[in-house]
Amino acid sequence: MSKEPCKVLVVDEDRDNADTTIMLLQMWGHEAEAAYSPENAVSAAITLDPDVILVDLGRPISNGFHLADELRARCPTAKLVAITAFTAADIVPRTRDAGFEKVLLKPAPARALKETVDTQCAAASIEE
């Protein structure tokens, strides 16, 4: 990771989960903010200009994919990571096809979350 903190936007309607994720990311040295709705996610993304966006795919699953398209349009250089409790057999290929860099299944272990965010932050800093 570069010397400057990586900016991470966490999009999750479950406030407890989003806030816990934010606390972890901040402990690991990242600048992190939460958005608790798709509408807030777009405005937060414009303001924060994140390096990485963690998107809970939510219910119905298509909403997370639609939101990812909107976020990508607003923040084309941000790395998108899907977080989901859905365990459908096609979830990984679907997220990959939708342009997500990675998918984490809930509950994502802290180590997996840290490794994923650090990897995506490093990739984002290389592309700058």
Which DSSP string corresponds to 102-128? EEEESSPPHHHHHHHHHHHHHHHHHH-
d(CA 31, CA 120): 14
Give the pLDDT score at 123: 93
Select the more confidently predicted residue: 35 or 1.
35
Would you tell me how many other CB atoms lie within 10 Å of the CB of residue 76?
7
Sign of the alpha-carbon dihedral angle for 109, 114, 119, 120: positive
pLDDT of residue 110: 95
Read off the pLDDT of residues 17-72 as tens digits, 9 standing for 90 and up.
999 999 999 999 999 999 999 889 999 999 999 999 999 987 655 578 889 999 99
Is a pLDDT exceeding 50 seen at residue 2?
no
| Residue that the structure tokens 């963690």 belong to | 54
80-93 pLDDT, tens digit per residue, is 999 988 777 888 88
Tell me the whole-structure pTM to 2 decimals: 0.92
By the 8 A CB rule, do 71 and 37 touch?
no
The band of 1, judged by pLDDT with boundaries at 50, 70 and 90, is very low
Q: What is the pLDDT of residue 83?
A: 93
